[in-house]
Amino acid sequence: MKNLIPIICISLFCVFSISAQDKKDSKEKIKALKISYLTEQLNLTSNEAEKFWPIYNAYDLEQHELRSKQRSELKKALKSNDEIDALNESDAEKLITLKLSIDRQLHESQKEFINKIKQVISFKKIIKLHVAEMEFGRKLMSKYRHK
């Protein structure tokens, strides 16, 4: 019995660490696939790619953080109230105000990104980037659904 408890604890620890590693690995794989897909779709020269990726990565990280903040605030508000119908008007107004604020920040981030990136790639490639990002997302979701 004394040996059983440590063995169970170690087993659970291993399972959780493997699960966390798989999640991290899958995120890295998706990121690598996205980079490969965007590079192919945009047909970047080596000079363009050298300047493009640092700007794009910073933009992508900022967008991800803002969206994550928005989701976490919504989850936090709904977790404490269990469901939307349980929210009072004041809390609902705060959530909407937060959403609008984050949407504004997302928009400003996009404008800033375009102002930086237009000095590296053409406007046609910026449009191709937007389309390629949407296509990549669709393909990823389609692949995920079929698993």
Looking at residue 44, the DSSP 8-state letter turns out to be -
**Residue 112 lies inside a defined structural domain of this protein:** yes
Looking at residue 86, the DSSP 8-state letter turns out to be G
Spell out the per-residue pLDDT of the chain, length 147, in tens: 444 444 443 444 444 444 445 556 788 899 899 998 998 899 988 899 899 999 999 999 999 999 999 988 888 877 765 677 777 888 888 888 988 999 999 999 999 999 999 999 999 999 999 999 999 999 888 887 876
**Residue 106 lies inside a defined structural domain of this protein:** yes
Quote the number of domains for the chain: 1
Tokens of 77: 């508000």
Contact partners, residue 77, CB within 8 Å, separation at least 6: 87, 91, 94, 95
Domain limits for position 58:
52-120
* pLDDT recorded at residue 4: 44
